[in-house]
């Protein structure tokens, strides 16, 4: 959904007016700052859905895999590995890999077995 604004317009973040029906509820969309040269601004979904170990998880914004591990309290000292959309991500790449909506993750460890 795009809206155009005139060149030279002030750089004001746009907040949609809430009617009574949505009073107290948060806006589903956050609107990023308009780019003056292109004259366009974009709506971005605030909520992303990814699947971690088979379970859907909602994220407020895109994280790197490094940040996700920190949020999950998985520390580097443990044995673990991550596959993103069925591709194993090397530990050196975790800070550079960003999650997108719809991504599927497998986060594994070594455990007791025969």
Partner 1 sequence: MSDVLKLGDRNYSSRLILGTGKYPDFQSMKKAHEISGTQLVTVAIRRIDLNDTSAESMLANIDRSKIDLLPNTAACYTAKDAILTCELAREALDTTLVKLEVIGDEKTLFPDNEQLLEAAKELVKQGFTVLPYTNDDVVVCKKLEDIGCAAVMPLGAPIGSGLGIRNPYNIKIILEQIKIPVIVDAGVGTASDAAIAMELGCDGVLMNTGIAGAKDPVKMAEAMRKAVEAGRLAYEAGRIEKKLYATASSPLEGVVGT
Instruction: Judge contact between 64 and 97, C-beta under 8 A.
Output: yes
In angstroms, what is the minimal distance from the CB of 81 to partner 1?
4
Out of 80, 97, 98, 104, name the contact with partner 1 by CB under 8 A.
80
Burial of 82 (0-12, 13-18, 19+ CB in 10 A): buried
* Shortest distance, position 43 Cβ to partner 1, whole Å: 31
* Residue among 8 and 114 whose Cβ is closer to partner 1: 114
When asked if residue 47 is in the footprint of partner 1 (CB under 8 A), the reply is no
Can residue 114 be called a binding residue for partner 1 (CB under 8 A)? yes
User: Six-digit token pair at 30?
Assistant: 């956050």
Cβ-contact 41, 26 below 8 angstroms: no
Q: Is there binding between residue 26 and partner 1 (CB under 8 A)? A: no
Binding to partner 1 (CB under 8 A): which residues in 82-111? 82-83, 86, 88-91, 106-111
If DSSP codes are grouped into helix, strand and coil, which group holds residue 20? helix
Distance CA 11, CA 4 (A): 13
> Residue 84: phi, psi to the nearest 5?
-110, 115
The least CB distance from residue 48 to partner 1, in Å, is 17
Residues forming contacts to partner 1 in the complex (CB under 8 A) are 52-55, 72-75, 77-83, 86, 88-91, 106-114
């Amino acid at each position: 959904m795009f809206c155009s604004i005139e060149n030279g317009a002030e750089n004001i973040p746009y907040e949609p007016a809430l009617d009574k029906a949505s009073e107290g509820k948060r806006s589903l969309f956050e609107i990023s700052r308009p780019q003056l040269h292109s004259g366009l601004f974009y709506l971005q979904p605030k909520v992303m859905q990814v699947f971690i170990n088979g379970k859907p998880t909602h994220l407020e914004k895109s994280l790197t895999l490094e940040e996700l591990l920190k949020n999950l309290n998985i520390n580097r000292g443990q044995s673990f590995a991550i596959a993103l959309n069925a591709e194993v991500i090397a530990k050196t790449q975790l800070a550079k890999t960003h999650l997108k909506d719809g991504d599927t993750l497998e986060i594994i460890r070594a455990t007791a077995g025969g």
